[in-house]
Amino acid sequence: MKRYSAFAIAREATRYHSGWERAWRAPEPKTKYDAIIIGAGGHGLATAYYLGKNFGITNVAIIEKGWLGGGNTGRNTTIIRSNYLQDPSAAIYEKSRFLYETMSQDLNYNVMFSPRGVIMLAQTHHEVRGYQRTAHANALQGVPTEWINPQRVKELCPIINLEGPRYPVLGGLWQARGGTARHDAVAWGYARACSDMGMDVIQQCEVTNIRREGGKVVGVDTTKGAIDCDKLGIVVAGHSGDLANMAGFRLPLESVALQALVSEPIKPAMDVVIMANTVHGYLSQSDKGEMVIGGGTDGYNNYTQRGSFHHVEETVRALNETFPMLSRLKMLRQWGGIVDVTGDRSPILSKTPVDGVFINCGWGTGGFKAIPGSGWAMAELMAKGHSPLTDEFGMERFIEGRFIDESVAAGVAH
Amino acid sequence: MLILNCPCCGVTAEETEFHAGGEAHLKRFGPDSSNEDFENYMFMRQNPKGVHLERWRHNNGCGKWFHAARCTMTLEVFGTYSAQTYEPPKEICDLISAKRPGWSWGAFS
Protein backbone atom coordinates (compact mmCIF):
# COMPACT_ATOMS: atom_id res chain seq x y z
CA MET A 1 0.00 0.00 0.00
CA LYS A 2 1.31 3.42 -0.90
CA ARG A 3 0.98 5.80 2.03
CA TYR A 4 -1.08 8.95 1.65
CA SER A 5 0.90 12.09 2.48
CA ALA A 6 1.57 15.64 1.34
CA PHE A 7 4.54 14.30 -0.61
CA ALA A 8 2.30 11.78 -2.37
CA ILE A 9 -0.04 14.59 -3.45
CA ALA A 10 2.92 16.64 -4.71
CA ARG A 11 4.33 13.62 -6.56
CA GLU A 12 1.01 12.80 -8.19
CA ALA A 13 0.46 16.45 -9.11
CA THR A 14 3.49 16.23 -11.38
CA ARG A 15 2.12 13.24 -13.32
CA TYR A 16 -1.58 13.94 -13.77
CA HIS A 17 -2.52 11.85 -10.69
CA SER A 18 -1.89 8.67 -12.66
CA GLY A 19 -0.14 6.86 -9.79
CA TRP A 20 -2.94 6.43 -7.24
CA GLU A 21 -3.79 2.79 -6.58
CA ARG A 22 -7.09 1.27 -5.58
CA ALA A 23 -7.59 1.68 -1.84
CA TRP A 24 -8.48 -1.99 -1.38
CA ARG A 25 -8.41 -5.13 -3.52
CA ALA A 26 -11.55 -6.84 -4.84
CA PRO A 27 -10.62 -10.52 -4.38
CA GLU A 28 -12.56 -13.70 -5.04
CA PRO A 29 -13.13 -15.70 -1.85
CA LYS A 30 -10.64 -18.42 -0.90
CA THR A 31 -11.94 -21.83 0.22
CA LYS A 32 -10.87 -21.42 3.84
CA TYR A 33 -10.09 -18.64 6.32
CA ASP A 34 -9.08 -18.63 9.99
CA ALA A 35 -11.88 -16.18 10.68
CA ILE A 36 -14.80 -14.80 8.70
CA ILE A 37 -16.57 -11.60 9.62
CA ILE A 38 -20.07 -11.20 8.19
CA GLY A 39 -20.81 -7.54 7.55
CA ALA A 40 -18.40 -4.96 6.13
CA GLY A 41 -19.76 -1.99 7.99
CA GLY A 42 -17.73 -0.02 10.49
CA HIS A 43 -18.03 -2.56 13.30
CA GLY A 44 -17.19 -5.57 11.10
CA LEU A 45 -14.20 -3.91 9.45
CA ALA A 46 -12.91 -2.61 12.78
CA THR A 47 -13.18 -6.13 14.24
CA ALA A 48 -11.12 -7.51 11.35
CA TYR A 49 -8.60 -4.67 11.62
CA TYR A 50 -7.93 -5.26 15.32
CA LEU A 51 -7.82 -9.05 14.81
CA GLY A 52 -4.88 -8.38 12.52
CA LYS A 53 -3.28 -5.48 14.35
CA ASN A 54 -3.60 -6.68 17.96
CA PHE A 55 -3.58 -10.46 17.55
CA GLY A 56 -1.78 -11.13 14.25
CA ILE A 57 -4.74 -13.00 12.74
CA THR A 58 -4.71 -11.88 9.11
CA ASN A 59 -6.16 -14.87 7.24
CA VAL A 60 -9.54 -13.18 7.48
CA ALA A 61 -12.42 -12.49 5.10
CA ILE A 62 -14.98 -9.76 5.59
CA ILE A 63 -18.16 -10.69 3.67
CA GLU A 64 -20.68 -8.03 2.72
CA LYS A 65 -24.11 -8.52 1.17
CA GLY A 66 -24.28 -5.07 -0.38
CA TRP A 67 -21.44 -2.61 -0.66
CA LEU A 68 -18.86 -1.56 1.88
CA GLY A 69 -20.24 0.74 4.56
CA GLY A 70 -23.61 0.94 2.79
CA GLY A 71 -25.78 0.06 5.77
CA ASN A 72 -26.04 2.03 8.97
CA THR A 73 -22.38 3.10 8.73
CA GLY A 74 -23.35 5.32 5.80
CA ARG A 75 -26.71 6.37 7.24
CA ASN A 76 -26.02 7.70 10.74
CA THR A 77 -25.56 11.28 11.93
CA THR A 78 -21.89 10.64 12.92
CA ILE A 79 -22.09 11.75 16.56
CA ILE A 80 -19.22 10.58 18.79
CA ARG A 81 -19.50 10.79 22.58
CA SER A 82 -18.95 8.64 25.65
CA ASN A 83 -21.00 10.30 28.42
CA TYR A 84 -22.87 7.19 29.54
CA LEU A 85 -24.24 6.47 32.98
CA GLN A 86 -23.40 2.80 33.40
CA ASP A 87 -19.76 1.76 33.91
CA PRO A 88 -19.61 -0.98 31.22
CA SER A 89 -21.01 1.45 28.62
CA ALA A 90 -18.69 4.28 29.61
CA ALA A 91 -15.71 1.90 29.38
CA ILE A 92 -16.35 0.72 25.82
CA TYR A 93 -17.60 4.07 24.45
CA GLU A 94 -14.69 5.98 26.02
CA LYS A 95 -12.23 3.42 24.60
CA SER A 96 -13.89 4.09 21.27
CA ARG A 97 -13.77 7.87 21.53
CA PHE A 98 -10.11 7.63 22.54
CA LEU A 99 -9.32 5.51 19.46
CA TYR A 100 -11.13 8.03 17.22
CA GLU A 101 -8.67 10.72 18.35
CA THR A 102 -5.75 9.08 16.52
CA MET A 103 -7.67 7.06 13.93
CA SER A 104 -6.60 9.19 10.94
CA GLN A 105 -2.91 8.70 11.85
CA ASP A 106 -3.33 5.01 12.74
CA LEU A 107 -5.08 4.18 9.47
CA ASN A 108 -3.21 6.74 7.33
CA TYR A 109 -6.66 7.79 6.13
CA ASN A 110 -8.33 11.09 6.95
CA VAL A 111 -11.55 10.27 8.83
CA MET A 112 -12.05 13.98 9.60
CA PHE A 113 -12.55 13.41 13.32
CA SER A 114 -13.72 16.73 14.68
CA PRO A 115 -13.83 16.89 18.51
CA ARG A 116 -16.08 19.94 18.44
CA GLY A 117 -17.96 19.10 21.62
CA VAL A 118 -21.37 17.56 22.28
CA ILE A 119 -24.16 19.10 24.36
CA MET A 120 -27.03 16.90 25.52
CA LEU A 121 -29.80 19.39 26.24
CA ALA A 122 -31.86 19.06 29.41
CA GLN A 123 -35.37 20.27 28.57
CA THR A 124 -37.29 18.73 31.47
CA HIS A 125 -36.54 18.62 35.21
CA HIS A 126 -36.24 14.86 34.90
CA GLU A 127 -33.41 15.34 32.42
CA VAL A 128 -31.70 17.94 34.62
CA ARG A 129 -31.48 15.41 37.45
CA GLY A 130 -30.55 12.61 35.08
CA TYR A 131 -27.68 14.48 33.41
CA GLN A 132 -26.31 15.84 36.69
CA ARG A 133 -26.20 12.25 37.89
CA THR A 134 -24.46 11.21 34.65
CA ALA A 135 -21.89 14.01 35.08
CA HIS A 136 -21.06 12.67 38.56
CA ALA A 137 -20.88 9.10 37.26
CA ASN A 138 -18.59 10.24 34.42
CA ALA A 139 -16.27 11.94 36.94
CA LEU A 140 -15.88 8.58 38.72
CA GLN A 141 -15.36 6.77 35.40
CA GLY A 142 -12.67 9.20 34.27
CA VAL A 143 -14.73 10.51 31.36
CA PRO A 144 -14.44 14.32 31.27
CA THR A 145 -17.95 15.79 31.12
CA GLU A 146 -19.52 18.78 32.75
CA TRP A 147 -22.99 20.02 33.71
CA ILE A 148 -23.47 23.50 32.20
CA ASN A 149 -26.16 26.13 32.74
CA PRO A 150 -28.39 27.64 30.03
CA GLN A 151 -26.20 30.74 29.60
CA ARG A 152 -23.19 28.54 28.83
CA VAL A 153 -25.31 26.56 26.37
CA LYS A 154 -26.16 29.84 24.63
CA GLU A 155 -22.48 30.84 24.50
CA LEU A 156 -21.54 27.53 22.92
CA CYS A 157 -24.49 27.56 20.53
CA PRO A 158 -25.72 31.10 19.78
CA ILE A 159 -28.52 30.00 17.43
CA ILE A 160 -30.39 28.26 20.24
CA ASN A 161 -33.62 29.63 21.71
CA LEU A 162 -33.55 29.02 25.48
CA GLU A 163 -37.13 30.11 26.19
CA GLY A 164 -39.19 27.70 24.12
CA PRO A 165 -42.67 27.50 25.63
CA ARG A 166 -42.86 23.73 25.32
CA TYR A 167 -39.18 22.79 25.52
CA PRO A 168 -37.21 25.38 27.53
CA VAL A 169 -33.46 24.74 27.79
CA LEU A 170 -32.64 24.13 31.46
CA GLY A 171 -28.98 23.24 31.01
CA GLY A 172 -26.91 20.58 29.38
CA LEU A 173 -24.38 17.79 29.72
CA TRP A 174 -21.24 18.99 27.91
CA GLN A 175 -18.56 16.66 26.63
CA ALA A 176 -15.88 18.86 25.11
CA ARG A 177 -13.99 15.95 23.46
CA GLY A 178 -17.05 14.52 21.77
CA GLY A 179 -17.74 15.43 18.16
CA THR A 180 -18.19 13.98 14.70
CA ALA A 181 -16.23 12.10 12.03
CA ARG A 182 -16.74 11.33 8.35
CA HIS A 183 -18.69 8.06 8.51
CA ASP A 184 -17.81 6.72 5.02
CA ALA A 185 -14.13 7.43 5.61
CA VAL A 186 -14.16 5.32 8.78
CA ALA A 187 -15.34 2.29 6.77
CA TRP A 188 -13.02 3.06 3.84
CA GLY A 189 -10.01 3.62 6.09
CA TYR A 190 -10.50 0.32 7.90
CA ALA A 191 -11.13 -1.52 4.62
CA ARG A 192 -7.89 -0.15 3.14
CA ALA A 193 -5.91 -1.11 6.25
CA CYS A 194 -7.48 -4.61 6.33
CA SER A 195 -6.77 -5.16 2.65
CA ASP A 196 -3.20 -4.03 3.23
CA MET A 197 -2.77 -6.70 5.94
CA GLY A 198 -3.81 -9.34 3.37
CA MET A 199 -7.45 -9.67 4.43
CA ASP A 200 -10.14 -10.16 1.78
CA VAL A 201 -13.00 -7.66 1.71
CA ILE A 202 -15.64 -9.47 -0.39
CA GLN A 203 -18.58 -7.31 -1.45
CA GLN A 204 -21.84 -8.30 -3.18
CA CYS A 205 -21.68 -11.67 -1.42
CA GLU A 206 -24.66 -12.70 0.68
CA VAL A 207 -24.41 -15.39 3.36
CA THR A 208 -27.22 -17.90 2.81
CA ASN A 209 -26.39 -20.53 5.43
CA ILE A 210 -24.11 -21.08 8.41
CA ARG A 211 -22.75 -24.65 8.41
CA ARG A 212 -22.25 -26.41 11.73
CA GLU A 213 -20.89 -29.82 12.74
CA GLY A 214 -21.28 -31.13 16.27
CA GLY A 215 -22.23 -27.76 17.72
CA LYS A 216 -19.26 -26.02 16.10
CA VAL A 217 -19.16 -23.72 13.11
CA VAL A 218 -17.31 -25.08 10.06
CA GLY A 219 -18.15 -22.50 7.42
CA VAL A 220 -20.72 -20.47 5.54
CA ASP A 221 -22.55 -20.86 2.26
CA THR A 222 -22.69 -17.68 0.21
CA THR A 223 -23.85 -16.47 -3.17
CA LYS A 224 -20.18 -16.80 -4.23
CA GLY A 225 -19.89 -20.40 -3.01
CA ALA A 226 -19.05 -22.21 0.21
CA ILE A 227 -16.26 -20.85 2.43
CA ASP A 228 -14.82 -22.71 5.44
CA CYS A 229 -13.72 -21.02 8.64
CA ASP A 230 -12.64 -21.76 12.22
CA LYS A 231 -14.25 -18.71 13.74
CA LEU A 232 -17.18 -16.62 12.61
CA GLY A 233 -18.12 -13.11 13.68
CA ILE A 234 -21.66 -11.90 12.95
CA VAL A 235 -21.62 -8.10 12.82
CA VAL A 236 -24.68 -7.17 10.78
CA ALA A 237 -26.78 -4.75 12.91
CA GLY A 238 -30.42 -4.81 11.76
CA HIS A 239 -30.21 -8.26 10.17
CA SER A 240 -28.63 -10.00 13.19
CA GLY A 241 -31.80 -11.93 13.96
CA ASP A 242 -31.81 -13.42 10.47
CA LEU A 243 -28.17 -14.55 10.70
CA ALA A 244 -28.70 -15.95 14.22
CA ASN A 245 -31.58 -17.94 12.78
CA MET A 246 -29.21 -19.51 10.23
CA ALA A 247 -26.86 -20.45 13.08
CA GLY A 248 -29.76 -21.93 15.05
CA PHE A 249 -30.14 -19.58 18.01
CA ARG A 250 -32.33 -16.62 18.91
CA LEU A 251 -31.56 -13.08 19.97
CA PRO A 252 -33.45 -10.67 22.22
CA LEU A 253 -33.70 -8.09 19.44
CA GLU A 254 -36.24 -6.18 17.41
CA SER A 255 -35.37 -4.34 14.20
CA VAL A 256 -36.88 -0.92 13.61
CA ALA A 257 -36.30 1.99 11.23
CA LEU A 258 -34.39 5.07 12.35
CA GLN A 259 -34.49 8.16 10.15
CA ALA A 260 -32.26 11.13 9.44
CA LEU A 261 -32.31 14.11 7.10
CA VAL A 262 -30.08 16.96 5.94
CA SER A 263 -30.85 20.53 4.94
CA GLU A 264 -29.47 22.58 2.09
CA PRO A 265 -25.91 23.78 2.82
CA ILE A 266 -25.60 27.09 4.66
CA LYS A 267 -22.70 29.10 6.05
CA PRO A 268 -21.22 27.96 9.39
CA ALA A 269 -23.86 28.55 12.06
CA MET A 270 -23.23 25.96 14.74
CA ASP A 271 -19.86 24.44 15.67
CA VAL A 272 -21.03 21.98 18.33
CA VAL A 273 -23.22 18.88 18.25
CA ILE A 274 -26.60 19.24 19.96
CA MET A 275 -28.65 16.30 21.21
CA ALA A 276 -32.19 16.98 22.39
CA ASN A 277 -33.38 13.64 23.70
CA THR A 278 -36.78 14.82 24.88
CA VAL A 279 -37.84 15.66 21.35
CA HIS A 280 -35.65 13.03 19.61
CA GLY A 281 -33.72 15.69 17.72
CA TYR A 282 -30.00 15.39 17.02
CA LEU A 283 -28.36 18.28 15.21
CA SER A 284 -24.92 19.13 13.86
CA GLN A 285 -23.55 21.02 10.87
CA SER A 286 -21.47 19.08 8.38
CA ASP A 287 -18.31 20.46 6.82
CA LYS A 288 -20.31 20.98 3.62
CA GLY A 289 -22.65 23.24 5.60
CA GLU A 290 -25.69 20.98 5.70
CA MET A 291 -27.57 20.81 8.97
CA VAL A 292 -27.60 17.08 9.77
CA ILE A 293 -30.68 16.03 11.72
CA GLY A 294 -31.34 12.66 13.32
CA GLY A 295 -34.81 11.67 14.46
CA GLY A 296 -36.45 9.00 16.56
CA THR A 297 -37.27 5.40 15.69
CA ASP A 298 -40.56 4.15 14.37
CA GLY A 299 -42.53 2.03 16.79
CA TYR A 300 -42.99 -1.05 14.64
CA ASN A 301 -40.73 -3.82 13.28
CA ASN A 302 -39.38 -2.87 9.90
CA TYR A 303 -36.70 -4.04 7.43
CA THR A 304 -37.39 -1.58 4.61
CA GLN A 305 -34.79 1.16 5.33
CA ARG A 306 -37.52 3.76 5.22
CA GLY A 307 -39.68 5.12 8.00
CA SER A 308 -42.88 7.05 8.50
CA PHE A 309 -42.97 10.69 7.52
CA HIS A 310 -44.71 11.82 10.69
CA HIS A 311 -41.62 10.95 12.75
CA VAL A 312 -39.55 13.33 10.63
CA GLU A 313 -42.28 15.94 11.03
CA GLU A 314 -42.31 15.56 14.83
CA THR A 315 -38.53 15.93 15.06
CA VAL A 316 -38.37 18.98 12.82
CA ARG A 317 -41.36 20.63 14.47
CA ALA A 318 -39.75 20.34 17.90
CA LEU A 319 -36.30 21.42 16.69
CA ASN A 320 -37.81 24.50 15.00
CA GLU A 321 -38.87 25.73 18.41
CA THR A 322 -35.39 25.33 19.90
CA PHE A 323 -33.60 26.50 16.71
CA PRO A 324 -35.92 29.04 15.05
CA MET A 325 -33.53 29.62 12.11
CA LEU A 326 -34.11 26.04 10.95
CA SER A 327 -37.65 26.94 9.92
CA ARG A 328 -36.28 28.77 6.84
CA LEU A 329 -34.20 25.84 5.62
CA LYS A 330 -35.16 23.46 2.85
CA MET A 331 -34.49 19.83 3.55
CA LEU A 332 -32.52 18.08 0.80
CA ARG A 333 -32.52 14.41 1.63
CA GLN A 334 -34.17 12.03 4.05
CA TRP A 335 -33.39 8.35 4.60
CA GLY A 336 -33.71 5.48 7.04
CA GLY A 337 -31.63 2.62 8.37
CA ILE A 338 -32.56 -0.58 10.17
CA VAL A 339 -31.35 -0.65 13.76
CA ASP A 340 -31.50 -3.63 16.11
CA VAL A 341 -32.72 -2.74 19.58
CA THR A 342 -32.29 -4.95 22.66
CA GLY A 343 -34.43 -5.11 25.77
CA ASP A 344 -32.08 -2.91 27.82
CA ARG A 345 -30.97 -0.71 24.87
CA SER A 346 -27.36 -1.86 25.28
CA PRO A 347 -25.40 -3.90 22.75
CA ILE A 348 -24.58 -7.60 22.74
CA LEU A 349 -20.94 -8.64 22.27
CA SER A 350 -20.97 -12.28 23.06
CA LYS A 351 -20.12 -15.90 22.50
CA THR A 352 -23.12 -17.84 21.26
CA PRO A 353 -24.54 -21.34 21.77
CA VAL A 354 -22.63 -22.36 18.62
CA ASP A 355 -18.92 -22.95 19.26
CA GLY A 356 -16.77 -20.56 17.24
CA VAL A 357 -19.61 -18.14 16.44
CA PHE A 358 -19.40 -14.70 18.02
CA ILE A 359 -21.97 -11.97 17.72
CA ASN A 360 -21.75 -8.19 17.90
CA CYS A 361 -25.16 -6.55 17.59
CA GLY A 362 -27.83 -4.54 19.36
CA TRP A 363 -26.09 -1.17 19.07
CA GLY A 364 -29.54 0.21 18.34
CA THR A 365 -29.63 3.88 17.51
CA GLY A 366 -26.06 4.76 18.56
CA GLY A 367 -23.53 2.44 16.98
CA PHE A 368 -21.32 4.77 14.94
CA LYS A 369 -19.58 6.30 17.96
CA ALA A 370 -18.66 2.80 19.15
CA ILE A 371 -17.01 1.50 15.96
CA PRO A 372 -13.32 1.41 17.01
CA GLY A 373 -14.00 0.36 20.62
CA SER A 374 -16.45 -2.29 19.52
CA GLY A 375 -13.97 -3.64 16.95
CA TRP A 376 -11.17 -3.63 19.53
CA ALA A 377 -13.28 -5.53 22.07
CA MET A 378 -14.83 -7.92 19.55
CA ALA A 379 -11.38 -8.82 18.17
CA GLU A 380 -10.17 -9.63 21.68
CA LEU A 381 -13.31 -11.68 22.32
CA MET A 382 -12.80 -13.66 19.10
CA ALA A 383 -9.07 -14.17 19.59
CA LYS A 384 -8.93 -14.92 23.33
CA GLY A 385 -12.46 -16.01 24.18
CA HIS A 386 -13.11 -13.10 26.50
CA SER A 387 -12.41 -9.39 26.84
CA PRO A 388 -12.72 -7.10 29.86
CA LEU A 389 -14.69 -4.70 27.65
CA THR A 390 -17.28 -7.30 26.61
CA ASP A 391 -17.67 -9.30 29.84
CA GLU A 392 -20.78 -7.36 30.85
CA PHE A 393 -22.29 -7.37 27.33
CA GLY A 394 -22.88 -11.13 27.02
CA MET A 395 -26.27 -12.32 25.76
CA GLU A 396 -26.71 -14.37 28.98
CA ARG A 397 -27.32 -11.12 30.85
CA PHE A 398 -30.98 -11.25 29.85
CA ILE A 399 -31.56 -14.59 31.53
CA GLU A 400 -29.49 -13.57 34.56
CA GLY A 401 -31.10 -10.16 34.93
CA ARG A 402 -27.81 -8.22 34.80
CA PHE A 403 -29.05 -5.43 32.54
CA ILE A 404 -26.97 -2.46 31.44
CA ASP A 405 -29.93 -0.20 31.55
CA GLU A 406 -29.06 2.82 29.45
CA SER A 407 -32.67 3.18 28.36
CA VAL A 408 -33.46 4.33 31.88
CA ALA A 409 -30.32 6.48 32.00
CA ALA A 410 -30.99 8.26 28.72
CA GLY A 411 -34.78 8.23 28.97
CA VAL A 412 -34.86 7.21 25.31
CA ALA A 413 -33.04 4.89 22.99
CA HIS A 414 -29.61 6.38 22.53
CA MET B 1 -47.26 5.36 6.14
CA LEU B 2 -49.36 2.43 7.28
CA ILE B 3 -53.14 2.39 6.97
CA LEU B 4 -54.86 0.16 9.51
CA ASN B 5 -58.44 -0.82 10.17
CA CYS B 6 -59.46 -1.04 13.82
CA PRO B 7 -61.58 -4.19 14.19
CA CYS B 8 -62.98 -2.88 17.48
CA CYS B 9 -64.65 0.31 16.17
CA GLY B 10 -64.36 -0.24 12.41
CA VAL B 11 -62.47 2.97 11.70
CA THR B 12 -59.82 2.89 8.97
CA ALA B 13 -57.07 5.43 9.59
CA GLU B 14 -53.38 6.08 9.06
CA GLU B 15 -50.80 5.13 11.64
CA THR B 16 -50.63 8.39 13.60
CA GLU B 17 -53.97 7.37 15.07
CA PHE B 18 -52.48 4.12 16.35
CA HIS B 19 -49.64 3.00 18.56
CA ALA B 20 -47.55 -0.10 17.88
CA GLY B 21 -47.40 -2.54 20.78
CA GLY B 22 -44.91 -5.17 19.66
CA GLU B 23 -45.19 -8.88 18.95
CA ALA B 24 -48.58 -10.55 19.37
CA HIS B 25 -49.46 -13.99 20.75
CA LEU B 26 -46.71 -13.98 23.38
CA LYS B 27 -47.28 -16.67 25.97
CA ARG B 28 -46.94 -14.99 29.34
CA PHE B 29 -44.91 -16.48 32.19
CA GLY B 30 -44.92 -15.31 35.77
CA PRO B 31 -42.64 -15.49 38.83
CA ASP B 32 -42.98 -19.28 39.20
CA SER B 33 -41.78 -20.07 35.69
CA SER B 34 -38.33 -21.32 34.68
CA ASN B 35 -35.60 -18.82 33.77
CA GLU B 36 -35.73 -19.90 30.11
CA ASP B 37 -39.49 -19.44 29.86
CA PHE B 38 -39.33 -16.06 31.51
CA GLU B 39 -36.47 -14.88 29.28
CA ASN B 40 -38.34 -16.07 26.21
CA TYR B 41 -41.46 -14.22 27.22
CA MET B 42 -39.70 -11.08 28.38
CA PHE B 43 -36.97 -10.53 25.76
CA MET B 44 -36.89 -13.03 22.92
CA ARG B 45 -38.77 -11.89 19.83
CA GLN B 46 -39.39 -13.47 16.43
CA ASN B 47 -38.32 -10.26 14.65
CA PRO B 48 -38.98 -11.90 11.25
CA LYS B 49 -38.09 -10.63 7.82
CA GLY B 50 -41.55 -11.05 6.38
CA VAL B 51 -44.91 -11.76 8.02
CA HIS B 52 -45.21 -10.24 11.49
CA LEU B 53 -48.20 -10.65 13.79
CA GLU B 54 -48.29 -7.67 16.11
CA ARG B 55 -50.31 -5.68 18.60
CA TRP B 56 -51.61 -2.19 17.97
CA ARG B 57 -53.68 0.19 20.09
CA HIS B 58 -56.19 2.62 18.63
CA ASN B 59 -54.74 5.43 20.78
CA ASN B 60 -56.46 8.43 19.22
CA GLY B 61 -59.73 6.61 18.68
CA CYS B 62 -61.58 3.94 20.61
CA GLY B 63 -58.49 3.20 22.74
CA LYS B 64 -58.77 -0.56 22.33
CA TRP B 65 -56.07 -3.10 21.47
CA PHE B 66 -56.15 -5.26 18.36
CA HIS B 67 -53.80 -7.42 16.29
CA ALA B 68 -52.45 -6.87 12.79
CA ALA B 69 -50.70 -9.12 10.29
CA ARG B 70 -48.09 -7.14 8.37
CA CYS B 71 -45.01 -7.75 6.23
CA THR B 72 -41.81 -6.17 7.59
CA MET B 73 -40.13 -6.34 4.17
CA THR B 74 -42.83 -4.51 2.20
CA LEU B 75 -44.94 -2.86 4.96
CA GLU B 76 -48.00 -4.48 3.39
CA VAL B 77 -50.84 -4.96 5.89
CA PHE B 78 -52.59 -8.30 5.30
CA GLY B 79 -55.37 -7.65 7.77
CA THR B 80 -56.33 -6.84 11.35
CA TYR B 81 -58.21 -8.95 13.85
CA SER B 82 -59.48 -8.99 17.41
CA ALA B 83 -56.94 -9.31 20.21
CA GLN B 84 -59.27 -11.68 22.09
CA THR B 85 -57.65 -14.76 20.59
CA TYR B 86 -54.64 -17.03 21.14
CA GLU B 87 -53.96 -17.46 17.44
CA PRO B 88 -54.74 -15.64 14.20
CA PRO B 89 -58.16 -16.52 12.72
CA LYS B 90 -58.33 -18.73 9.64
CA GLU B 91 -59.35 -15.94 7.27
CA ILE B 92 -56.23 -13.92 8.23
CA CYS B 93 -54.02 -17.01 7.75
CA ASP B 94 -55.64 -17.59 4.35
CA LEU B 95 -55.08 -13.94 3.36
CA ILE B 96 -51.39 -14.22 4.28
CA SER B 97 -50.95 -17.65 2.66
CA ALA B 98 -52.44 -16.33 -0.58
CA LYS B 99 -49.66 -13.76 -0.82
CA ARG B 100 -46.83 -15.48 1.07
CA PRO B 101 -47.13 -19.20 0.29
CA GLY B 102 -45.46 -21.38 2.88
CA TRP B 103 -45.16 -18.70 5.57
CA SER B 104 -45.08 -19.80 9.17
CA TRP B 105 -45.16 -18.20 12.59
CA GLY B 106 -44.39 -20.67 15.33
CA ALA B 107 -47.25 -23.11 15.32
CA PHE B 108 -49.45 -21.03 12.99
CA SER B 109 -49.51 -21.07 9.21
Closest CA to A189 of A98, A105, A278, A115: A105
**H helix and E strand count, chain A:** 12, 18
More confident residue, B105 or A107: A107
Name every chain B residue with its beta carbon within 8 A of the beta carbon of A254.
Answer: 22-23, 45, 47
pLDDT-derived band at B105, boundaries 50, 70, 90:
confident
- Mean pLDDT, residues B19-26: 94
Domain boundaries, chain A: 21-78+183-252+344-410, 115-178+254-342
For testing the chain A interface, which of B4, B42, B43 should be mutated: the one with the most A CBs within 10 Å? B43
Enter the pTM of the model: 0.94
Question: Cα(A199)–Cα(A218) distance, rounded to whole angstroms?
Answer: 19
Q: Could you tell me if the ipTM is greater than 0.90?
A: yes
pLDDT the model gives residue A411: 44
A253 contacts B45? CB cut-off 8 A: yes
CATH numeric code, A115-178+254-342 = 3.30.9.10
d(CA A20, CA A275): 40
DSSP state of A3: P
Q: Is the pLDDT of residue B109 over 80?
A: no
Residue from A333, A382, A336, A380 nearest A355 by CA: A382
- Most B CBs within 10 Å: which of A301, A334, A400, as the mutation test of the B interface? A301
- Which residue stretches of chain A have pLDDT < 50? 409-411, 413-414
Would you tell me which CATH number, out of the four given (3.30.420.40, 3.40.50.300, 3.30.43.10, 3.30.2270.10), belongs to the domain B3-99? 3.30.2270.10
pLDDT in tens, A248-283: 999 999 999 999 999 999 999 999 999 998 888 899
- Contact indicator for B92, B69 with CB cutoff of 8 Å: yes
Q: Give A228's DSSP letter.
A: E
Nearest one of A291, A289, A238 to A261, comparing CA atoms? A291
Tell me the fold of A21-78+183-252+344-410.
FAD/NAD(P)-binding domain (3.50.50)
**Burial label, B51 (beta-carbon count in 10 A; 0-12, 13-18, 19+):** buried
Chain B nearest-CA distance from A240, in A, is 10
DSSP A149: -
Note the pLDDT of residue A352: 96
Give the domain ranges of chain B: 3-99
A346 in Cβ contact with A393 (< 8 Å): yes
Burial of residue B103 (number of CB atoms within 10 Å: 0-12, 13-18, 19+):
middle
What would the pLDDT profile of A196-217 be if each residue is shown by its tens digit?
A: 999 999 999 999 999 999 999 9
Pairing type for strands A60-63 and A32-38 reads parallel
Q: What is the mean pLDDT of chain B?
A: 93
